[in-house]
Structure 1
Amino acid sequence: MSGSLWLKPPTTGTPLPAIPPPRRADHPGRTTDPPATDPPGGSTPATAHPTGEALAADPLDELAVRLEEFAAVAVHPDEIAALLESDGMTDDHIRLTYGRADSFALAEDLYARVERRHHPAPARPPGGAWHTGLAGCLLRGLVFALPGLAYVLAAPLLAGEPGRFGLPGGTVPLLAGAVTGWVWNQALSHRAYTWLGLGDRPAAARALLTGAPAGALAGTAVSFAAAAPGEAPAALFAAGQSLYLAAATVLLVLGRERALLCALLPLAGALPAFRWDLPDPLRAALLLAALTASVVFAALVLRPGLRRGAAGRGGPPRAGSLPYGMFGLGSGLLVLQAGIGDTLVSGAGAVIALTLSMGPAEWLLHRFRGESLTRLRTLTTAREFRRAVTGTLVLCLGGYLTVLVALTLAATLAWPGAPWPTPPRLVTLLLVGTVLWLGLLLQAFGAVLSAAVVCLLAAAAQTLGPAAGPVAAGGAAAVLAVLTCALLVRPTAHRV
């Protein structure tokens, strides 16, 4: 995997509407004097406001009229409570004005007073900005997987004595640099996407301009520190890998997937290497061409970050990006462990399938979010919404796992001499895929810390006890499934 797996949010959302101001029945400039005596029939007169304007006998009736359009289509009182709190209504104000304990009690009364009705049909496509094209997501999946061809080209250049922990020579510095890059670039991607969400593209470019080179240096330093004597070629390749990860992150975050694909085209020269032996100078030239093109394209798109004042204000807190880096660490370790198979070829097939599946996974995540927003606008009860969202979740997860199985079988057929995956390994791969997809879904809804903790615990369990891999992945998948259902069946979770 390369670059950022952080799910890019849409440029527009569905903010809560503002509460309309109270409407005055009197003509401007006129005042209503309170009656001097009780009206006929003994009815209670309206209370006089200090300004002279009469108030309704029950202020809740007036508020219900003002909020009728929003409250009538709410599927749960919590949605109304969120609107009240967003308008600045405090509990003290609610107790004094409406005689209710807090915003939730007031919202429940409003929900009961207003008749349910369907939301009018949306003028734009269902889901709005959360409906994205399948072709773009497939392109991202392709650029995630293409860098794997670099390892095919570099394999003869890195050949040497057997390495540590029973792995081929040079594996440790390569893995150390890759994991460092995943952690750093996930956190950096979140920070840059936050700037983009604020509408400040030059500030996002500035964040990438300073963060991407720092990540490349960190990955290089870790790779050389982890290299043993005789593993200098692998450490040098890991340095180039760190530089590529930094450049790919820049291009993916700023939406330049096509430029990254063009930069990776020289790696297609690895395809003949599956059957024929290529000269070492040609292998090195193809690797350098892809790396140079990636860095040049990244430098070109970072020009807005050079403007004076870009990212000049404080910006989002850096600590907020740390959980995203931790999720990158956990998910990256799970993918690496899924690739440690009985043979190098079978392990590589699992990694290829997982990386290629990230494109369809991203599209299905967008699809789930878009369908959920559509259901929020068209359904009228919380029970209907829970059932619809649960069904959509099952369909999207099932679709992703189906794609993952198809890609695994395709990678097995395309790789010469690759063995068919055994049922236990296929089950483990599907469990890892479930963990990754649910983790990305929770990350998209802001629950990234929970996803990161679960992924890290599962990765640690597999590292300490490789035989417990299926159990660890299954436990992580079950925990994430419970967290997902608990969070996403609530309508307020889908108000962005």
Structure 2
Amino acid sequence: MSGSLWLKPPKEGDTLPAIPRPRREEVPRTREAGRAPDPGLVPDPLDELAERLDGFVAAAVHPDEVAALLESDGMTDDHIRLTYGRADSFALAEDLYARVERRHPAPQAPPAGPRLGGLADCLLRGLVFALPGLAYVLAAPLLAGEHGRFGLPGGTVPLLAGAVTGWVWNQALSHRAYTWLGLGDRPAAARALLIGAPPGALAGTGVALAVAAPGETPAAVFAAGQALYLAAATALLVLGRERALLGALVPLAGAVPAFRWDLPDPLRAGLLLASLAATTVLAALALRPGLRRVAAGRGGPPRATSLPYGLFGLGSGLLVLHAGVGSTPVGGAGAVVALTLSMGPAEWLLHRFRGETLTRLRTLTTAREFRRAATGTLVLCLGSYLTVLTALALAVTLLWPGAPRPALPHLLALLLVGTALWLGLLLQAFGAVLGAATVCLLAAAAQTALPAAGPAATGGAAAVLAVLTCVLLVRPTAHRS
């Protein structure tokens, strides 16, 4: 899977509104000393706060949303006790929630234009994720080695090591660049990619060369080109240049005749180099705004925040690689093809889940109704993704030359991997990437240590991720970013 899969940041921020603080008016003093002021002249501070926050509190579906607003404004428990006579922000939020009548704005009208436009863009991304697999078909005769390791064909180890290194690096780099895009600074995003992509390509090349055994030099050279492609494709995908990347991958269509006929080696190498050169040139052109950027006096998001995304790339990448080790197309290379093609519909369903939950957040009046609606949407989107993945796996099996009928155990194992990947991507999109990365890494480590435990490891990972998703994403506060 080349590049990275992300929910693109919204164009408009969804930050919590600041609490307006009007200038405090003095309470009229009585003329007679020692006389208590008239209670009618002293306004209730809680009523004033409820009036100022009326719009936000009326649209909230749970008191926790109000508590989050109070805490984001810096209200401490001491201030709340002294000013409003409540124990903490949660008690104050409950009082405000009870005082204000529920009122929700009408759902926004869908944007003009065809509703399938977003789906078409996501399918395009899925296609550019999968097309690089044709490069391995073209290069197969050039990479054939005499001796393999770990039960794999010759040259496989440097290819896998370089690919995993690229996935880890480019996932972290993509997060940093997307963070800049979320801040509205596209030149800074281009500069981050311009600075980070070359070291990623060098890292992938270095790892592939380091693990290459004698006789695997051609595979190591191909891994170097693979590392360069991953870096360039990541830049194009993050900057929204999917169509340009698709054009650069057109030469790889020459692999289709290679399924049945033997092509000359110079032709195979020429098609590979043409696609790699086109991708690299297009990425360089897309990154030109990064060269013109002048330091703006801010360092940007902390680099450590991108580390969990790289770890998630490692865990999910290893799960996909384990899914690609098998004796049948659905349990072997066909599984990787089906998973990569499914990433387009997966991204569209991630957007669909987010859009549906935001609509429910505006229209439902209680937390219980929202939890029920969010759970139903989650089941529907996950079920739709697994249906698409099953159809793709069966289609790959039918189109694969000489492929046997798919075995049910291999298909179930593929669906478990797909469940873990989609739920992990969903948690990543909502910022819970560390939990998703930990679960995927543990499952991948278990499969590596004990290959026979593969289905149990992926099944356990899918179950844990499902629980995390239900716990975290059915709460209304999870959707108030």
TM-score range, shorter chain: over 0.9
1:167 aligns with 2:152: yes
- The equivalences for 1:394-413 within 5 A come to 394-413=379-398
Matching residue of 2:38: 45
Partners of 2:331 and 2:414 within 8 A in 1? no
Partners of 2:145 and 2:154 within 8 A in 1? yes
- Please tell me the residue identity of whatever aligns with 1:107: A
| Aligned pair partner of 2:132 in 132, 147, 165 | 147
- Give the C-alpha shift of residue 92 in structure 1: 1.9
Matching residue of 2:262: 277
SS at match of 1:166: coil
- The equivalences for 1:181-196 within 5 A come to 181-196=166-181
- Please tell me the residue identity of whatever aligns with 1:112: A
Partners of 1:244 and 1:291 within 8 A in 2? yes
Supply the distance in 1 between the matched residues of 2:288 and 2:55 (Cα, whole angstroms).
46
- The equivalences for 1:282-321 within 5 A come to 282-310=267-295, 313-321=298-306
Partners of 1:203 and 1:311 within 8 A in 2? no
- Give the C-alpha shift of residue 132 in structure 1: 7.3
- Please tell me the residue identity of whatever aligns with 1:367: R
Matching residue of 2:84: 98
- Greater Cα shift, 9-18 or 420-429: 9-18
SS at match of 2:389: helix
| Aligned pair partner of 1:214 in 199, 203, 219 | 199
Supply the distance in 1 between the matched residues of 2:213 and 2:328 (Cα, whole angstroms).
24
1:19 aligns with 2:4: no
Normalising by the residue count of structure 2, what TM-score does the alignment of the two structures yield?
0.95
- The equivalences for 1:296-375 within 5 A come to 296-310=281-295, 313-343=298-328, 346-375=331-360
Supply the distance in 2 between the matched residues of 1:307 and 1:172 (Cα, whole angstroms).
40
Supply the distance in 2 between the matched residues of 1:138 and 1:241 (Cα, whole angstroms).
23
Partners of 1:203 and 1:310 within 8 A in 2? no
SS at match of 1:165: coil
- Give the C-alpha shift of residue 386 in structure 1: 0.3
Identity over aligned pairs, percent: 82
1:76 aligns with 2:76: no
Supply the distance in 1 between the matched residues of 2:469 and 2:416 (Cα, whole angstroms).
15
- CA-to-partner distance for each residue in 1:416-469, whole Å, 9 max, x for gaps? 111222111111100000000000000011110100000000001111111111
- Give the C-alpha shift of residue 361 in structure 1: 0.4
Supply the distance in 2 between the matched residues of 1:311 and 1:165 (Cα, whole angstroms).
51
From the superposition, tell whether residues 102 and 444 of structure 1 become closer, same or farther in structure 2 (CA, over 3 Å): same
Partners of 1:461 and 1:469 within 8 A in 2? yes
Supply the distance in 2 between the matched residues of 1:34 and 1:43 (Cα, whole angstroms).
9
Supply the distance in 1 between the matched residues of 2:102 and 2:331 (Cα, whole angstroms).
56
- Give the C-alpha shift of residue 229 in structure 1: 0.3
- Please tell me the residue identity of whatever aligns with 1:404: L
| Aligned pair partner of 2:163 in 165, 173, 178 | 178
- Give the C-alpha shift of residue 89 in structure 1: 2.0
| Aligned pair partner of 2:49 in 53, 63, 84 | 63
Partners of 2:323 and 2:331 within 8 A in 1? no
From the superposition, tell whether residues 254 and 265 of structure 1 become closer, same or farther in structure 2 (CA, over 3 Å): same
Supply the distance in 1 between the matched residues of 2:117 and 2:8 (Cα, whole angstroms).
11
- Please tell me the residue identity of whatever aligns with 1:13: G
Normalising by the residue count of structure 1, what TM-score does the alignment of the two structures yield?
0.92
Partners of 2:320 and 2:336 within 8 A in 1? yes
Matching residue of 2:447: 462
- CA-to-partner distance for each residue in 1:204-250, whole Å, 9 max, x for gaps? 11111111010000000000111000000000000000000000000
- Please tell me the residue identity of whatever aligns with 2:123: L
1:439 aligns with 2:424: yes
Supply the distance in 2 between the matched residues of 1:181 and 1:132 (Cα, whole angstroms).
30
- CA-to-partner distance for each residue in 1:242-285, whole Å, 9 max, x for gaps? 00000000000111000100000000111111111111111111
Partners of 1:142 and 1:356 within 8 A in 2? yes
- Give the C-alpha shift of residue 11 in structure 1: 2.4
- CA-to-partner distance for each residue in 1:77-118, whole Å, 9 max, x for gaps? 01111111222322222111100111111001111122223x
- Please tell me the residue identity of whatever aligns with 1:86: S
| Aligned pair partner of 1:488 in 465, 473, 478 | 473
- CA-to-partner distance for each residue in 1:452-491, whole Å, 9 max, x for gaps? 0000000011111111111001100110011111101111
Supply the distance in 2 between the matched residues of 1:374 and 1:14 (Cα, whole angstroms).
14
- Give the C-alpha shift of residue 409 in structure 1: 0.7
- Greater Cα shift, 309-318 or 182-191: 309-318
Partners of 1:206 and 1:310 within 8 A in 2? no
From the superposition, tell whether residues 344 and 66 of structure 1 become closer, same or farther in structure 2 (CA, over 3 Å): closer
- Give the C-alpha shift of residue 124 in structure 1: 4.2
Partners of 1:206 and 1:311 within 8 A in 2? no
- Give the C-alpha shift of residue 310 in structure 1: 4.8
Partners of 1:3 and 1:248 within 8 A in 2? yes
Supply the distance in 2 between the matched residues of 1:134 and 1:480 (Cα, whole angstroms).
25
- Higher Rg of the two aligned structures: 1
1:266 aligns with 2:269: no
Supply the distance in 1 between the matched residues of 2:168 and 2:15 (Cα, whole angstroms).
31
From the superposition, tell whether residues 194 and 122 of structure 1 become closer, same or farther in structure 2 (CA, over 3 Å): same
Partners of 1:339 and 1:348 within 8 A in 2? yes
RMSD: 2.1
- Give the C-alpha shift of residue 312 in structure 1: 5.6
Matching residue of 1:50: none
Supply the distance in 2 between the matched residues of 1:246 and 1:82 (Cα, whole angstroms).
39
- CA-to-partner distance for each residue in 1:353-372, whole Å, 9 max, x for gaps? 00000010011001101111
Tell me the matched-pair count: 477
- CA-to-partner distance for each residue in 1:318-371, whole Å, 9 max, x for gaps? 111111000000000000110111146851111000000001001100110111
Matching residue of 2:413: 428
From the superposition, tell whether residues 33 and 317 of structure 1 become closer, same or farther in structure 2 (CA, over 3 Å): closer
Partners of 2:334 and 2:393 within 8 A in 1? yes
Q: What runs of 5+ residues in structure 1 fail to find an aligned partner? A: 48-53
